[in-house]
Amino acid sequence: MALIVHKYGGTSMGSTERIKNVAARVAKWHDAGHQVVVVPSAMSGETNRLIGLAKEIMGQPDPRELDMICATGEQVSVGLLAMALLAIGKDAVSYAGWQVAIKTDSSFTKARIQSIDDKKVRADLDAGKVVIITGFQGVDEDGNISTLGRGGSDTSAVAIAAALKADECLIYTDVDGVYTTDPRVVSEARRLKTVTFEEMLEMASLGSKVLQSRSVEFAGNYRVPTRVLSSLTDPLLPLQEEANSGTLISFEEDKNMEQAVISGIAFNRDEAKITILGVPDKPGVAFHILGPVAEANIEVDMIIQNQSVDGKTDFTFTVSRGEYQKAMGVLDGVKADIGAASVMGDAKVSKVSVVGVGMRSHVGVASRMFRTLSEEGINILMISTSEIKISVLIDEKYMELAVRALHKAFDLEKE
Ligand code: ADP
Ligand code: ASP
Ligand code: MG
């Protein structure tokens, strides 16, 4: 007997028919003698619908109230799934995040999980029940409902698996695993049987939304065996076959395997670039610009500072597009304080990244990447690198072209 956590995304929970399929799949695992905890997302489109309603009332929704609204999507899902299980004779019980409790900090709309109480869940599992817990939501220390950011149900599932020391966390979704890049953008993308934790973390944080990056962090920190697989197969597929399908996140590099130089390409459409022109170049410049941005709880990603000319420099950084207006507002306030000439922004940029642990032992990845982009006539606006990734910022209209060209240039369609 093993303890398994299943996570089902929005498409997998998209209709009552699909929810019945999820119930049949969960029942199959339970019938095989396993303890099962299920973490579903809201039905597809529901979170967007709720955010839309909020925006009709308040252009920039109040974060606490927005979480109050958005958390309801998952609450409907858990109730429906519990009923679907009860209807086929399985004992099941659903809980909202605050009932477990899944404690988070108070950063509404992007809260972080701090602790999970496993008592109630364990007691139910020991009593033979399937336990269903809302994804995406938690509760802060004052009892306010919080949410974990878009795609946050992945993080709920892996964190719950970590807290319960589950044997495996299975992330069921609308693709049958992690691919070399988004198969919806490159039809030749190839499914990876395994992906190292480090690569998965880079891909997720660079925009591959198949997993929320914090879920990968949890998987790594707590060594949770995590697999991404399809929820759209026949729910009665033999269990062994299902258990070995999809993509496993591995924690060791397979030394026997010839390591590919690049494992995948990630992209993020939702980027924005901000430049502060004519800043006096003296100690503390970066701090005086980015300090207030951080205080406003805005995450900064790529940063460059130009060579100074006549004691003045230009300073450029990127933020996610959703925070662009807020960041511009903050900088308008600090522009005069730091003596800058002007602030310029561009919210139509995207980031494309090549990722692979093989980069450590191979040279020439950057030159191949830049040559490919230049052959396509794509201008690079910013570059950032780490040991296992190279990212470029480009005009958003070239993003898909860049991803396709790089996928080909690095032979990713080949086994
Ligand atoms: P869920 O609702 O199940 O959480 P998501 O839409 O959040 O599903 O994530 C699955 C989607 O991630 C896929 O449909 C696919 O378009 C996208 N995706 C992006 N990058 C990748 C990748 N490298 N491999 C597989 N899917 C990817
Ligand atoms: N329902 C939430 C969202 O749409 C969480 C999730 O799907 O993981 O972002
Ligand atoms: Mg998702």
End-to-end Cα, the chain, rounded Å: 35
Buried/exposed code over 175-206 (b: 16+ C-beta within 10 A; e: otherwise): bbbbbbbbbeebeebbebebbbbbbbbbbbbb
pLDDT at 117 over 60: yes
Output the average pLDDT for the chain: 95
pTM reported for the whole predicted model? 0.94
Residues with CB under 6 A from ligand 1: 9-12, 41, 151, 173-175, 178-179, 181-184, 208-210, 264
Average pLDDT value for residue range 304-315 = 90
- Mean pLDDT throughout 90-106? 98
Beta bridge partners of 179: 191
Is residue 373 within 8 Å of 402, Cβ to Cβ? yes
> How much distance in Å is there from the Cα of 105 to the middle of ligand 3?
21
Residue 362 — pLDDT band, cuts 50, 70, 90? Answer: confident
CATH architecture observed for domain 3-175+210-252: 3-Layer(aba) Sandwich (3.40)
Check if 10 has its Cβ closer than 6 Å to any atom of ligand 2: yes
Q: What's the rounded Cα separation, in Å, for the pair 380 and 374? A: 9
Question: Is the predicted pLDDT of residue 254 greater than 70, yes or no?
Answer: no
Cα(173) to centroid(ligand 2), Å: 12
Looking at residue 218, its pLDDT comes to 97
**Is residue 168 within 8 Å of 160, Cβ to Cβ?**
no
Q: In the numeric block, which tokens belong to residue 395?
A: 């005009």
Which helix H or strand E contains 145, and what residues bound it?
Answer: strand 145-147
> How far does the centroid of ligand 1 lie from the alpha carbon of residue 185, in Å?
11
| CA 57 vs CA 50, 61, 71, 116, 155: distances in Å | 11, 8, 18, 34, 29
Provide the pLDDT confidence category of residue 258 given band limits of 50, 70 and 90. low
Q: In the chain, where does the domain assigned CATH 3.40.1160.10 lie?
A: 3-175+210-252
Residue whose Cα lies nearest atom 1 of ligand 1: it is: 9
Give the bridge partners for 272, in sequence order. Answer: 319
Q: Could you report the per-residue pLDDT of 234-247, keeping only the tens digit for each? A: 999 999 999 999 99
Q: Is 205 helix (H, G, I), strand (E, B) or coil?
A: helix
Ligand 2 pocket, mutate which of 150, 154, 160, 212 (most atoms under 8 A from CB): 150
**Residue nearest (by alpha carbon) to ligand 1 atom 10:** 210
pLDDT tens figures, 9-19:
999 999 999 99
Residues of the chain with CATH 3.30.2130.10: 264-409
Task: Look up residue 298 and give its DSSP letter.
Answer: P
Q: Which CATH architecture has domain 264-409?
A: 2-Layer Sandwich (3.30)
In angstroms, what CA-CA distances link 395 with 55, 72, 98, 221? 28, 37, 42, 35
Please report the pLDDT score of residue 400 as a whole number. Answer: 98
State the CB neighbour count (10 A cutoff) for residue 344: 12
CA of 9 to the centre of ligand 1 (A): 10
Residue 111: per-residue pLDDT: 97
- Token look-up 């296992």 returns 388
pLDDT tens digits, one per residue of 25-40: 999 999 999 999 999 9
Residue 336: per-residue pLDDT: 87
Residue-level pLDDT at 333: 85
